[in-house]
Amino acid sequence: MIIRLTRTSTAEVQKRMLEIRDEGGVVALGRVLTLVVHTQIGGEEEAIRAANAASREHPMRVIVVSRNPDHVNAGEEARLDAELRVGADAGASEVVLLQCYGELGSHLLGIVQGLLLPDAPVVAWWPSFMPTLPSGSQLGQIAQRRITDSAKQADPRAAILGLAGCYAPGDTDLAWTRLTNWRAHLAALLDQPPFEQVTSGRVSGDLANPSTHLMAAWLRLRLGVDVELEDAGEAPVGSSGLHAVELHRPSGDSSLTRVRDSVGILAQPGQPEHHVALSTRGLEDQLAEELRKLDADDMYRQVLLAIASHADERAAA
């Protein structure tokens, strides 16, 4: 069921949601969190689809607040249009879409605050543009978890360096989430013989993709060795951007190489090659992973610091 309200107010939206609940449509009981999504008008549907899919694992209330990039222009009328989605149109969640026009786009906190589930964690997600300081933004201040996507920014490399300079507990980025499968396979590789110290490494990937730099920083941090970056060309937006990771040891090189969208090859000296699942996960899977852990990700913090430190060293060289 979809209910549309034009030129409305948050009080009217709250009232209509209570009416739906009283009529037996949807109840808030069982919702484990509130996901607040901040995006642009016209770009809401991809985020809603991902949230609906993730809600099957994490039942939640989804509040999508969108605005025009030029919302401060004096010529645009200040108004709020809303859409309520429940039942089959909202997966295992209830979706509140709030489209803010004109000066109203500057007051996001006041717009969403009355719609948050009581006594439930709040997660803020910026699927496209992101604030310079996520934890200090209007929505970031009320969120226990803040999800950005540096790969979607005009300058992804600068974006991830910016996040390194303003990290706060609860921050995370989908460029880091996209490395989960790679990190798991590389950890498994190092748990197998030969049990030798890694002397150096090389990461091959799209150098415009922040995931490539996050992987190199993670390896430097965990192994304490130099890691070379090699440009493997442009990769699709939304992927990890990685082509291969090589680890050099006295007995020979070990590597993990993507050979197709969903398949990678693990190679070790003296062992047959192994095909492993290395799929490019969809946005809904990435979001669901981040919603599983609402506490601070200390490894992500350490990797961000390692990226910043490496950038400072290169600038000083």
Task: Kindly report the three-state secondary structure assignment for every residue of 50-104.
Answer: HHHHHCCCCCEEEEEEEECCCCCCCCCCCEEEEEEECHHHHCCCEEEEEEEEHHH
Chain-wide mean pLDDT for the chain? 90
- Specify whether 20 is located in the same domain as 156: yes
Report the pLDDT averaged over residues 147-167: 95
- Asked if the structure places residue 315 within a domain, the reply is no
- Asked if the structure places residue 134 within a domain, the reply is yes
Mean pLDDT lowest for which of 86-90, 100-104, 115-119, 164-168?
86-90
- Specify whether 28 is located in the same domain as 153: yes
Q: What is the pLDDT of residue 245?
A: 97
Write the pLDDT tens digit of every residue in 22-43. 776 555 556 889 999 999 999 9
- Asked if the structure places residue 199 within a domain, the reply is yes
From 102, 97, 106, select the one nearest 36 (Cα to Cα). 97
- Asked if the structure places residue 135 within a domain, the reply is yes
Our CA angle for 166, 171, 177, nearest 5°, is: 120
Buried b or exposed e, range 97-116, using 16+ CB within 10 angstroms: bbbbbbebbeebeebbeebb
- Specify whether 88 is located in the same domain as 168: yes
- Specify whether 124 is located in the same domain as 187: no
The pair of structure tokens assigned to 228 is 């070379």
Task: Check if the beta carbon of residue 224 is closer than 8 Å to that of residue 198.
Answer: no
Question: Would you say residue 90 has pLDDT above 90?
Answer: no
- Asked if the structure places residue 12 within a domain, the reply is yes
- Specify whether 71 is located in the same domain as 151: yes
- Asked if the structure places residue 302 within a domain, the reply is no
Q: Per the structure, how many domains does the chain have?
A: 2
- Specify whether 31 is located in the same domain as 118: yes
Quote the percentage of the chain above a pLDDT of 90. 70
pLDDT band per the 50, 70, 90 thresholds, residue 92: low
- Final residue before a domain boundary, out of 120, 145, 173: 173
Cis peptide before 194 (omega within 30 of 0): yes
3-class secondary-structure state, position 146? strand
Report the pLDDT averaged over residues 34-53: 94
- Asked if the structure places residue 216 within a domain, the reply is yes
Distance CA 237, CA 144 (A): 27
- Final residue before a domain boundary, out of 140, 173, 206: 173
- Final residue before a domain boundary, out of 118, 142, 173: 173
- Specify whether 28 is located in the same domain as 74: yes
pTM of the model: 0.93
Q: What is the pLDDT of residue 70?
A: 61
Residue 127's domain comprises 2-173
- Specify whether 41 is located in the same domain as 153: yes
Our CA angle for 195, 201, 206, nearest 5°, is: 135
Q: What is the pLDDT of residue 280?
A: 86
Q: What is the pLDDT of residue 174?
A: 97
Question: Would you say residue 156 has pLDDT above 70?
Answer: yes
pLDDT band per the 50, 70, 90 thresholds, residue 313: confident
- Asked if the structure places residue 286 within a domain, the reply is no
- Specify whether 147 is located in the same domain as 128: yes
Mean pLDDT lowest for which of 139-143, 235-239, 285-289, 291-295?
235-239
- Specify whether 220 is located in the same domain as 102: no
Q: What is the pLDDT of residue 68?
A: 80
Q: What is the pLDDT of residue 89?
A: 66
- Specify whether 52 is located in the same domain as 74: yes
Distance CA 317, CA 307 (A): 15
Write the CB contacts of 114 (distance below 8 Å, at least 6 apart in sequence): 10, 11, 14
- Specify whether 248 is located in the same domain as 205: yes
